[in-house]
Amino acid sequence: MSQPKRVLFVCIGNACRSQMAEAFARAYGSDVLVAASAGLSPAMYVAPDTIKAMDAKGIDVRDHFPKGLRHLGRSQFDLVINMSGMELPPIPGAEIRDWDVPDPIYLRFPQHCEVRDSIEHMVMRLILDLRNEERLPVHERPRRPAAG
């Protein structure tokens, strides 16, 4: 088995979407990925509805806090999932994938939960894809972009 992929989930404030994605990835996919999250303009705290929505799934994010890309220092990532709806700065060596996920920060709790469920499905699809990739012979696996 090869090394788990280092995956960064990015949204605007790192208060809702990327926090949920990181938490789902850690809960369900630690065999194939190492998850982190950040925001382009980090909020002051994780949104209360995000904490409540994740609690409903049995995942505690009370100890999470918003981080910016600068907080990551020299961390290297294989894959960046961009949920911000904006163009990201270059991230050397990382493949960037865009996910179209509405920002639930100002939505009512039921809609916040709908966004949560959408993120959960997208993360599960990513995990399943990574697990299937692990089963491929090395010469058939997708190539990573060159670092630098």
Superfamily of domain 5-139: Response regulator (3.40.50.2300)
Give residue limits of the domains in the chain: 5-139
Q: What span, in angstroms and rounded, lies between the C-alpha atoms of 148 and 142?
A: 18
Give whole-number Cα distances, 141 to 32, 96, 100, 119, 144, in Å: 14, 17, 26, 25, 9
Give pLDDT tens digits for 31-50. 999 999 999 999 999 999 99
Closest CA to 35 of 70, 9, 67: 9
Note the pTM of the prediction, 2 decimals.
0.90
**Contact, 17 vs 103, CB < 8 A?**
yes
| pLDDT tens per residue, range 74-103 | 789 999 999 999 999 888 889 999 999 999
